[in-house]
């Protein structure tokens, strides 16, 4: 049995598209970065989420993931409110940032962890577009206050995995599941 340790609709959709059967059990892991770098944060949080759920389902295969946006060494997590979202989008406007996702797959006697990085370049964003996006898309549940999949003209270009920016790097997850399951889909 495969368990996704996340309630993210975007992660559920990506994992479904990979063709694996799974159940969802959100983790109760307490996220606290405490001065960690972006890569250390996503690795620690993905591991913490997977370990939390695995502690209750020791015979399952548990997938944990965490995504952050990083600009100039600062992690831009989920915004607190609309004003915070607009502030983040202004910072990202016309610039290139990194999106990191840590992935941890745990099973009985099995542990695999990887980190994906995608470089994303934004268009210069007019204030009106930022205000419309925050009002219409309500990006409060998204790292960096945006979703590449939202259909707004925010992203000029990206280098790396598109699904990583959405929240789960399909290429990495597929390879890890293939290795762990020996080619057998759940």
**Is 66 an annotated catalytic residue?**
yes
In a 10 Å sphere around its CB, with 0-12 CB exposed, 13-18 middle and 19+ buried, how is residue 108 labelled?
exposed
23-24/74-76 β-pairing: unpaired
pLDDT of residue 138: 83
Contact 71, 96 (CB under 8 A): no
Residue 33's pLDDT is what?
A: 67
The DSSP call for residue 118 is E
Report the candidate in 12, 1, 3 with the shortest Cα–Cα distance to residue 166: 12
Low-confidence ranges of the chain (pLDDT < 70): 33, 183-186
In this prediction, residue 116 carries a pLDDT of 98
- Asked whether the CA dihedral 74, 37, 164, 4 is positive or negative, the reply is negative
* Structural domains of the chain in order of their starting residue, each with its CATH number: 2-181 (3.90.950.10)
pLDDT in the model for residue 34 = 75
**Among residues 66, 132, 141, 150, which one is catalytic?**
66
Q: How much is the pTM?
A: 0.93
Question: What mean pLDDT value characterizes the chain?
Answer: 94
Task: Determine the pLDDT at residue 96.
Answer: 98
């Amino acid at each position: 049995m495969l368990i996704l340790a996340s309630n993210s609709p975007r992660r559920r959709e990506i994992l479904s598209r990979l063709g694996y059967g799974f159940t969802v059990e959100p983790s109760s892991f307490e996220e606290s970065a405490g001065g960690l770098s972006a890569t250390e944060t996503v690795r620690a949080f993905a591991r913490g989420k997977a370990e939390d759920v695995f502690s209750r389902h020791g015979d399952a295969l548990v997938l944990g993931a965490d995504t952050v946006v990083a600009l100039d060494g600062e992690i831009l997590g989920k915004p607190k409110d609309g004003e915070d979202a607009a502030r983040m989008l202004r910072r990202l406007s016309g610039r290139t940032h990194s999106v990191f996702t840590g992935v941890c797959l745990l099973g009985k006697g099995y542990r695999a962890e990887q980190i994906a990085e995608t470089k994303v370049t934004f268009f210069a964003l007019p204030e009106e577009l930022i205000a419309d996006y925050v009002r219409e898309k309500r990006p409060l549940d998204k790292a960096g206050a945006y979703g590449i999949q939202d259909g707004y003209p925010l992203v000029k270009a990206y280098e790396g995995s598109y699904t990583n920016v959405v929240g789960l790097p399909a290429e990495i997850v597929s390879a890890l599941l293939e290795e762990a399951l020996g080619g057998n889909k759940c």
